Structure 1
């Protein structure tokens, strides 16, 4: 845990914030605080009244409470709970209901009395909701209020389902969900169109009455909204900022969620720093962007007036600092992502030798390779490297039902046209039509439909890889077992996923591995796939010498991009190459126009790729480097020996 030692370090923060190394340690801390309240109330022979939240954020808290109950005898007999919210309409036994969530993650595993559980009712007639909400408030008040309220935070800044525009004195009520909230929930419902448009939620005024309020947030995805909630002005546009008015609130964060707070993001603005080369690199690029000046035009006054006087004094003169950072940026740029043969590679991001490298591009979904690094993919093939691509999952959950029907309809017509027996195919087609007509949101597809959707994406991936110049024997489909559940929620990773990856790596023995380092995809598949590659390489490093000379490069692009100061290899893409990259992406027809899981970016994937690659090039241009049409960016993963 990071302690707050100096008030100066947190002067931008308008409420108490505690930062933990990871979500697990933070969650255990919160769970024990809840347990202490329960035990204290037991000693006083009275009820502990808990306000509970749902979603991914509090799951580890509930896991620890269950452990405390089973292993340390913590009883919940004296506990009364009130949940923050529930979708409307929503059946209590639906897989997406918060009744189901709470039962599966907490209530079914502890000794709480069922009559002491209160969750908003998603089955009520509309006309009965106002009375229900008044009674919900009344029950809380009669019990003396909530002893503690646990909160998460949505990317709109909502707490509970109090979306932007909510009043600070609002009570329990029916609300309309923000479009971004519904997009974020789409993965749980099998698409945004199935997400309810309304919910019943406790109000901000209700939350404020709690004796203690803890808001928890994990991951880089929450960093931007956390900065607004903690350091921003109080505004109805970000409802969580109202918590700045409470004397009983604390934000509990992991390090990625806290990463955009001033004391972590730009620490030179609040304290003296230990000026490592990495921090100097980040600070100088920040200063240039902040002042909209090229690096080589930054002056001593620029440093002194923007919190960087210490850097100027310790490492100056500033022009020497500027030249050093400019050269570092320049050395990241290369048109030879596999290394330039017969060249001095001491200042290049990749080794010159061997001049022809064996390369594996791992792609979590069947289109991440061309979306994120299609230009570099094509360049590596054009420069005669031995390039392989490995598609880690089938991506079959991201195909529309009508696309699956269209492909089977083609096969029915084709077999009839060719005079082949199509009776079994027609029967399968009718069964598919019947299933799809009755399909519930997020329902698992039949095995036949899963197979067809997987084959659609496989065919598209083959077409794209061939377009990039690969022969079929260099295109690998891993179908890692963790993914092939047919569900949005995937199975846990097992040794089999890692062993399959090790086997492919052993077969090719690559000098370069490219892997998705973009962990913002809606399902979290990217980080799971990356960790499988990482574990496979770590295990192989213990026994096989070739792995010591294998470099792991991370790419981004489909969902997020590297910050300029993070980039270690920037590959310029010409206008013609950018056009070729777009055509490779176009081969993935099922993902064009309207993808099943587009995230919160309305652009098609080819548009995102084109725009982000141009933005990366523009970022280099703004800093005073050469002007390119577009760039793809990479960061090298450093193994700890």
Structure 2
């Protein structure tokens, strides 16, 4: 069950070395990060077993962060189920924040214990993680000792790496040299912003860290760098295909004799052979690829679609497309019509109209539209204009808020609401006691400390009230708003639990209750903590169950995926584009403003410091500008959707 995507390779000979001529590093691309992680884990396990057979130690350089988690999970599984022993393993971790208590929830010591070391039989004395508790006077000597210990162990056999958006490996930020050793460094602001969500605010992120140097990493006999997701695609392309530069430390790996980049499809999506395969080889053309190539060419040349010429196509490696189709004019008209047919002011379908060239059906009318919102504001942020249009055009709109969003509320919001309640009920002794308890807890609360159950409940109610206010503003009936509070989210921490059958059951039951003609869901998978991705996977599983049971309503249901809070669909992928006029853009903004706890400063801004309404508005306007540049009508803004087909 997938939305329409291009195959990973659409070159006539994907094994031709010429196809990878721009790649200065060896890359392997996998369908998903789970499969890729299993391959990396097996590589590590193979080394460990080989060294066991020789009676020798295996020396591993390990990384932290979300990227290697599945690798560690697979190694733990191998230990428990396949008898893989780690008694002959010595490990050296890349880095640690400074200063940092090893018992802190932010500590990489704790991360490694929770994800790997507590679950395997490695000898404690063989585990090495930089010490974030040292005095500054001790650090230089300690870093030299760390280097010596690696050498005394025989050097790193395999170094596992992730990659940051700045191109940092370990905490080797832009400006690090090829010969740098283990040292104390200052974190780049982009790195601090990326970490801000984990620390419950930028002000709590350490400004420094202890890290292995680039030179230390380069001495490893093998380096495996892993990257997942679209958010890493640009820096992967730069690292693999770009020039070697200190401003992108990962490019130094081009010097390494045995370095492998392990990528999922999304992280590899900007590599030339995948993004623009016509530049490196002969393509097997189909309609989606033709559309992608034509729109790329229009942007590259600065022309609208209908102005592209045979010479333009030939100059940019698409001569065989001209030969296959016949002329630029034929290609241009084909793509122009495809793009034009994505545009509709009737996202629920236009009643009593010919819908053969429209993305949505005219009937039935009105439709039951069920909008899934991972957090309590994603609906209005990402598709607020479309939501308003559906309501205005008479459709029966339902909204399912999948999580409470309670960890994204500032503590002072709770105090403010409780003070208001106390003013209403000044003689309520129980309420006064609650306020005293809340104030005491917040006053003594440490950064990252989990809120009490009562405070989490209050924060969830604040977000619920804001969502209902937005519903009322948009004209959605309050009885059509569902607050699902999926269990996987309710940890009170940034780190969530894996989702379970209970989460799927909640979504399954709601689908059965509403039996929608349309489903809208967030396909925006770059949010910092993966809540969007988890919510989408839960929905997919619930839909699969209904498909297996051949639920009649599903036969007549279109599923649309939206984006906007963190990223936007590529124009080539959009299958429905809903124009938003200036007045509706203002209404969308006002609906977002109803979420007052997220206004001015969001708890988890990710790598974009702007408010969510500013991000969404810019993306919607940029989409409209791109349609205009391609020769379409000029609109104020556009929200784009991709259809998910079962």
TM-score normalized by the length of structure 1: 0.97
- Is 2:351 aligned against 1:341? yes
- Measured in 1, the distance between the counterparts of 2:196 and 2:609 equals 14
Aligned length: 635
Corresponding residue of 2:445: 439
- The aligned runs of 1:236-315 (5 Å cut-off) are 236-315=246-325
Corresponding residue of 1:220: 230
- Measured in 2, the distance between the counterparts of 1:189 and 1:210 equals 31
Match of 1:554 among 547, 554, 561: 561
RMSD: 1.5
Moved more, 532-541 or 284-293: 532-541
Moved more, 466-475 or 203-212: 466-475
SS of the aligned residue for 1:189 comes to: coil
Contact residue 197 and residue 528 of structure 2 kept, 8 A:
yes
Corresponding residue of 1:54: 64
- The aligned runs of 1:204-215 (5 Å cut-off) are 204-215=214-225
The Cα of 1:627 is off from its aligned counterpart by: 0.4
- Is 2:511 aligned against 1:479? no
Corresponding residue of 2:134: 124
- Measured in 1, the distance between the counterparts of 2:37 and 2:477 equals 49
Match of 2:178 among 168, 186, 201: 168
- Measured in 2, the distance between the counterparts of 1:7 and 1:105 equals 39
The Cα of 1:302 is off from its aligned counterpart by: 0.2
Deviations 1:492-546 (A, max 9, x none): 2222222222222222221111111111112211111122222222222324211
SS of the aligned residue for 1:565 comes to: coil
- Measured in 1, the distance between the counterparts of 2:364 and 2:74 equals 51
- Measured in 1, the distance between the counterparts of 2:376 and 2:440 equals 28
Match of 1:323 among 324, 330, 333: 333
Moved more, 296-305 or 499-508: 499-508
- Measured in 2, the distance between the counterparts of 1:531 and 1:87 equals 33
User: Would the alpha carbon gap of residues 39 and 476 (structure 1) be closer, same or farther in structure 2, given more than 3 Å must change?
Assistant: closer
Deviations 1:546-580 (A, max 9, x none): 11001111111111111000111111111111111
In the alignment, structure 2 segments of 5+ residues that lack a partner are 1-7
In the alignment, structure 1 segments of 5+ residues that lack a partner are none
- Measured in 2, the distance between the counterparts of 1:142 and 1:181 equals 32
The Cα of 1:317 is off from its aligned counterpart by: 1.3
Match of 1:25 among 35, 44, 63: 35
User: Would the alpha carbon gap of residues 44 and 481 (structure 1) be closer, same or farther in structure 2, given more than 3 Å must change?
Assistant: closer
- Is 2:631 aligned against 1:624? yes
Match of 1:500 among 484, 488, 506: 506
Corresponding residue of 1:76: 86
- Measured in 1, the distance between the counterparts of 2:509 and 2:38 equals 38
- Is 2:389 aligned against 1:383? no
Moved more, 475-484 or 10-19: 475-484
Deviations 1:90-129 (A, max 9, x none): 1111122111111122222222221111111011011100
User: Would the alpha carbon gap of residues 492 and 60 (structure 1) be closer, same or farther in structure 2, given more than 3 Å must change?
Assistant: closer
User: Would the alpha carbon gap of residues 588 and 336 (structure 1) be closer, same or farther in structure 2, given more than 3 Å must change?
Assistant: same
Match of 1:465 among 464, 471, 475: 471
SS of the aligned residue for 1:530 comes to: helix
Corresponding residue of 1:528: 534
User: Would the alpha carbon gap of residues 532 and 41 (structure 1) be closer, same or farther in structure 2, given more than 3 Å must change?
Assistant: closer
Q: Larger RCO: Structure 1 or Structure 2 (Cα < 8 Å, ≥ 6 residues apart)?
A: 2
SS of the aligned residue for 1:428 comes to: helix
Match of 1:107 among 107, 111, 117: 117
User: Would the alpha carbon gap of residues 256 and 390 (structure 1) be closer, same or farther in structure 2, given more than 3 Å must change?
Assistant: same
User: Would the alpha carbon gap of residues 38 and 341 (structure 1) be closer, same or farther in structure 2, given more than 3 Å must change?
Assistant: same
Deviations 1:262-290 (A, max 9, x none): 11111111111110111001000000011
- Is 2:623 aligned against 1:633? no
Corresponding residue of 1:187: 197
Match of 1:601 among 608, 617, 626: 608
SS of the aligned residue for 1:159 comes to: coil
The Cα of 1:56 is off from its aligned counterpart by: 1.7
The Cα of 1:49 is off from its aligned counterpart by: 1.7
User: Would the alpha carbon gap of residues 37 and 507 (structure 1) be closer, same or farther in structure 2, given more than 3 Å must change?
Assistant: closer
Moved more, 34-43 or 433-442: 34-43
- Measured in 2, the distance between the counterparts of 1:152 and 1:318 equals 43
SS of the aligned residue for 2:435 comes to: helix
- Is 2:22 aligned against 1:15? no
SS of the aligned residue for 1:492 comes to: coil
TM-score normalized by the length of structure 2: 0.96
Corresponding residue of 1:361: 371
The Cα of 1:4 is off from its aligned counterpart by: 7.0
- The aligned runs of 1:401-440 (5 Å cut-off) are 401-416=411-426, 421-440=427-446
